[in-house]
Amino acid sequence: MAIERLFRRRRTRGEGREVPDLWIRCQACGSQLYKKDLEQNLGVCPHCGHHHRIPVEDWVRILADEGSFEAITGKVRPVDALSFVDTEPYPERLARYQQKTGRPDAIYGGRATIGGVKSVLLVMDYAFAGGSMGSVVGEEIARGAELAAREDRALVIVTASGGARMQEGALSLMQMAKTTMALEFVFQKRLPYVSILTHPTTGGVTASFATLADVILAEPDALIGFAGPRVIKQTIRQDLPEGFQRSEFLLKHGLLDAVVDRRKLKEELVRVLRLFSEDPDAA
């Protein structure tokens, strides 16, 4: 199961080979959890409800109807337009993430049905450079939106991102405008767009397509905002209020439609999508 890749494999001393550990500690409450249980619980701790990050393939498995998914991403590959070098050259950084995730950039998605509703489902991959949006993520989202419009599909995007990708400079910034404008075709055809914000979603992704959805759902306790908490703390030189920028806080401030437990997410998403349809049974 893909979820296993999430958890570090423990090196057995002396033997020099890796064996998967059957147990894992909850990142929030520290409970010892049987990995299979956690997996069956969609990465949600049965004790404290903490939502652990899950691989993008698992998101597809959770949301898409079985056997309905057909990938559309993966053909667009990043390039180093700025010849960017920080502590390492950008191409090397990219190669490392590509090796780690097995995909060209921080996005995965395709055609799917969700509760029978024809959709385009896109999922951001936080494991790839913190889910940062550069030209490829921007292009895939724009193409996904255009495909949804062309084929009369709902658009569903699961976000997880630290924001725009610094290594592509102003070109990354422009993806905020590009993705926003591509959504226009979805809206013009009166197709539903639902975004699902997961931990964390900040910066240029929050300040563009992610928050322009007709319906914005978020996972519990996800950090969502424009600036990161560290930057804000530096600016105001004060401690941040309890729960600041977390889903529940944002719901109270009128910025989200609902905070949804991952185990209920598919059911709620289907209800929402069907409420956009004149004839929900036709799907």
Nearer to another protein, 2 or 174 (CB): 174
**Binding partner of residue 47 among Zn ion, another protein, none, CB cut-off 5 to 8 Å per kind:** Zn ion
Residue 2 binds what, of another protein, Zn ion, none (CB under 5 to 8 Å, by partner type)? none
Helix orientation angle between 135-150 and 169-188, rounded to the nearest 10 degrees: 10
Least gap, CB of 176 to another protein (angstroms): 6
d(CA 59, CA 89): 31
* 75 contributes a contact to another protein by CB under 8 A: yes
Least distance in angstroms from the C-beta of 259 to another protein: 16
- Cα-only R_g, the chain: 19
Query: In this structure, what DSSP letter does residue 105 have?
Result: S
Residue 166 binds which entry of Zn ion, another protein, none, with Cβ cut-offs from 5 to 8 Å by kind? another protein
160 lies in the binding site for another protein (CB under 8 A)? no
Q: Which does 85 bind (CB under 5 to 8 A by kind): another protein, Zn ion, none?
A: another protein
Per-residue binding string, Zn ion, 45-84, x by CB under 5 A, is: x-xx-x----------------------------------
Q: Give the residues across from 135 on adjacent strands.
A: none
Distance CA 71, CA 93 (A): 25
For another protein, the closer CB: 119 or 172: 172
What is the spatial distance between Cα 112 and Cα 270, in angstroms, rounded to a whole number?
13
- Phi and psi angles of residue 126, each rounded to the nearest 5 degrees, phi first: -65, -25
**Alpha carbon of 144 to those of 96, 107, 189, 218, 240: distances in Å?**
26, 11, 14, 21, 37
DSSP designation for 1 = -
Q: 43 phi and psi, to 5 degrees?
A: 85, 10
Backbone angles phi, psi at 224, to 5 degrees: -135, 130
Q: Is 44 among the residues that bind Zn ion (CB under 5 A)?
A: no
User: To the nearest whole angstrom, how small is the minimum distance from the Cβ of residue 30 to another protein?
Assistant: 29
Footprint of another protein on this chain (CB under 8 A)?
Answer: 75-79, 81-82, 84-87, 104, 134-136, 138-139, 142, 164-166, 168-178, 180-184, 202-204, 206-212, 224-227, 231-232, 235-236, 238, 240-241, 244-245, 253-255
Footprint of Zn ion on this chain (CB under 5 A)?
Answer: 26, 28-29, 31, 45, 47-48, 50
